[in-house]
Amino acid sequence: MKIWIDARICDEGWYYGDFVCELVEAFCRENSKHKIIVYTKKNLPLTRRSLLNDFKTRKIYEKEKFALMIFFDHHIPHGYKGEYIVLIESLKEVFFPKNQWLHRKIYSYKLKKAIGKSQKVLVLDGGSALELNERLNVVEDRIEKIHGFFPVYQNTSHSPITVDVKTKHNLRWDYLIYDSGNEVHNNFERILKTLMKLKDSGIMLYIVILCEATIKDLDIRAKAIEYSIADQILFLWDIWVENEASYYGQSLGVIFSSIYESFPFHFSKAIAYNCHIFANEIPANKDVMWETISYMDPLSIYNIRDAIDRYIKKPKKADYSKILEKYNAKNTALEMEKQVFIKN
């Protein structure tokens, strides 16, 4: 049997691109008796013009007369009429758009069309399945949930160089790391307000920001001054990968404030460095992480403050071994394989 996969999203990087890349590799390993053809940006004749790319890619697929393809998110060539299965990471770009109006409209149009014409829609959490059904009118028998997993963080393979972080940056207190974005659903301002409340309670901490998009947001700096915590925030841009183990290992933990996620891919780096995680008590986090992390109420700054205070008074060693046993590339590949063969 032949299986065709459009994996162009692998070349986009970041956690979801890494996830797709690792999933496709695992899928190929588990189905070695079948012929699997994988397309990426490297083996398609692409230009800078997206419409022309769509046309060229569609022509290639139509010429091959594929009986079934696997796509990811909205990456289906415009006008493609063949049968396919699509895996959707989440709908946050529809409900929490970050781009300009025209880009949002194009993305939403492509995604809804991709979902509408697919034979089967695979999702990574029950919330996305419910949203597809109730808000995008996708019938339940076309939606299947498979497990996600945390892609292997490649930079952990670099030989670490030990750095005394507090001495290097003249830090007087412990620090938390923030390495996520500053989009609407990331809810980062609540962390700044929590830092202010901790200070009012006599608990002094730093926040070390390692996300370029968040660092570039001037509103963050304005809010830090407004809340009188500017001297407690370090904007470090990208640190050398050889130094990451020191920064994560010496931190109090990594904090996330997202109010919307499907599968918590953004935990990948914290898990790779075995760092304690503070995150909001939302279904995607609870369903995957069980009791291995500290949960916070996204609506209560006082609850977030208390969660951090409790951990400071009684820290615990991070252990994600059972999580990684359940959520891994092989298990997800086998689940995707089942859906492909049911379709065929």
C-alpha span between 41 and 57 (Å, rounded): 10
Q: Tell whether 241 and 281 lie within a shared domain.
A: yes
Q: Tell whether 144 and 192 lie within a shared domain.
A: no
pLDDT at 343 over 70: no
Q: Tell whether 133 and 190 lie within a shared domain.
A: no
pTM of this prediction?
0.91
Q: Tell whether 169 and 32 lie within a shared domain.
A: no
For residue 22, what pLDDT is reported?
95
Q: Tell whether 173 and 129 lie within a shared domain.
A: no
**CATH number for the domain harbouring residue 193:** 3.40.50.2000
Q: Tell whether 47 and 139 lie within a shared domain.
A: yes
Q: If you average pLDDT over residues 8-32, what whole number do you get?
A: 90
How many separate domains does the chain show?
2
For residue 341, what pLDDT is reported?
79
**pLDDT tens digits for range 271-324:** 999 999 999 999 999 999 999 999 999 889 999 999 999 999 999 999 999 999
**pLDDT tens digits for range 88-119:** 999 888 887 776 777 778 888 888 889 989 99
C-alpha span between 217 and 230 (Å, rounded): 14
What is the CB neighbour count within 10 angstroms for residue 66? 18
Q: What is the average pLDDT value for the chain, to the nearest integer?
A: 90
**pLDDT tens digits for range 191-225:** 999 999 999 999 999 999 998 888 888 899 999 99
Q: Tell whether 130 and 194 lie within a shared domain.
A: no
Q: Tell whether 316 and 339 lie within a shared domain.
A: no
Pick the residue with more confidence: 336 or 91?
A: 336
For residue 48, what pLDDT is reported?
64
Q: Tell whether 170 and 143 lie within a shared domain.
A: no
Q: Tell whether 98 and 158 lie within a shared domain.
A: no
3-state helix, strand, coil in the chain (%, to 5): 50, 15, 35
**pLDDT tens digits for range 216-272:** 888 999 999 999 999 999 999 778 889 999 999 999 999 999 999 899 999 999 999
pLDDT at 157 over 70: no
Q: List all residues 6 or more positions away from 101 whose beta carbon is below 8 Å from its beta carbon.
A: none
For residue 208, what pLDDT is reported?
97
Q: Tell whether 233 and 334 lie within a shared domain.
A: no
Q: Which domain holds residue 12?
A: 2-149+328-343
Q: Tell whether 173 and 314 lie within a shared domain.
A: yes
